[in-house]
Homo-oligomer: A and B are copies of this chain.
């Protein structure tokens, strides 16, 4: 199968909202008046972001999910995406699975594949997503204010458990492995929550490299610091009750485990009821875990309100 047959067979459908979809030199979109367009791009590399034995259906899901998660962090609604696929060879079974996972998530969020590129080389999956958000309502990293509450969506640290099992560092019951592996391989982009937080959250980011790292981006962009209540953060790991982890390690997984693709965001204390309502409306758990403070960096407080020294670091591709 050649390059153009491959595209036609797996990745071409008639354009829907797009003025022009896959198959020309460019794709064309007609923006909606009054909306800003949001863009993000992410690559997944074999051996770095996924193991070679991953189910291609899950990989197709994840490749798009990590990008949609960036739109969620901005409060943007997904509109379209472009796929750049570098493949060592044409493996039709693999491609059929990958396309199945990709289309399922794309359809779930009504996000249209409008273009792409296919080349031969070491496996590398790049997606660029395009969303839109009413002008002036995008959630930015730079808006956190001293005194704001700090929230996270969903659960944290579960994907890290699966990673440690893959690394042979941890042994867990089969059911826990399956649950955490699904969290790692098929994350749920928090699009509905992000959109519900427009005009409500003062800042937001998605948690791809770990809570402390991604909250750190918010703090740096907003020129503020934060206090986190570890007693509030600990229950965020859904599987904690089923895994025999020392307390310090559980905390580490919650605070630094990557690949969760939840949102961390801030909102003023007087909007607490609205934040909880946004969580309910979007069917997404939200938990308040701390407060924005003047200064810089994150202070971890124990159950007695005492600062706990820590040396956690976040994921860095070249550190």
A interface residues with partner B (beta carbon < 8 Å): 1-4, 6, 19-20, 23-31, 33, 35-43, 45-49, 70-71, 73-74, 76, 80, 82-84, 86-87, 89-90, 114-122, 124, 126, 128, 130-131, 133, 135, 138, 140-142, 204-206, 221, 316-319
Contact = CB atoms under 8 A, between A and B. Distances in A.
A47 B86 CA distance: 13
A221 to B, nearest CB: 7
Given A119-B48, A317-B3, A318-B90, A27 B39 contact: yes
A140 B48 contact: no
A126 B124 CA distance: 10
Contacts of A116: 41
Contacts of A71: 25-26
This protein's copies in its complex? 2
A124 B126 CA distance: 10
A117 B43 contact: yes
A82 B39 contact: yes
A115 B42 CA distance: 10
Of the listed residues A42, A45, A117, the one surrounded by the most CB atoms of chain B closer than 10 A to its CB is: A117
Of the listed residues A33, A43, A76, the one surrounded by the most CB atoms of chain B closer than 10 A to its CB is: A43
Of the listed residues A3, A116, A124, the one surrounded by the most CB atoms of chain B closer than 10 A to its CB is: A124
A115 B28 contact: no
B41 A37 contact: no
A139 to B, nearest CB: 8
18 contacts: A25-B206, A26-B40, A27-B38, A27-B40, A28-B36, A30-B36, A30-B37, A31-B37, A40-B115, A41-B117, A42-B84, A48-B120, A84-B84, A84-B126, A86-B124, A90-B318, A121-B122, A124-B124
Given A3-B316, A122-B121, A115 B39 contact: yes
Given A25-B205, A316-B2, A84 B43 contact: yes
Given A24-B140, A26-B76, A37-B31, A121 B48 contact: yes
Contacts of A3: 316-319
Given A2-B316, A43-B84, A118-B318, 11 more contacts: A2-B317, A26-B138, A27-B39, A29-B39, A31-B37, A41-B126, A42-B84, A43-B86, A49-B119, A90-B318, A124-B124
Contact of A74 (B24, B42, B46, B87): B24
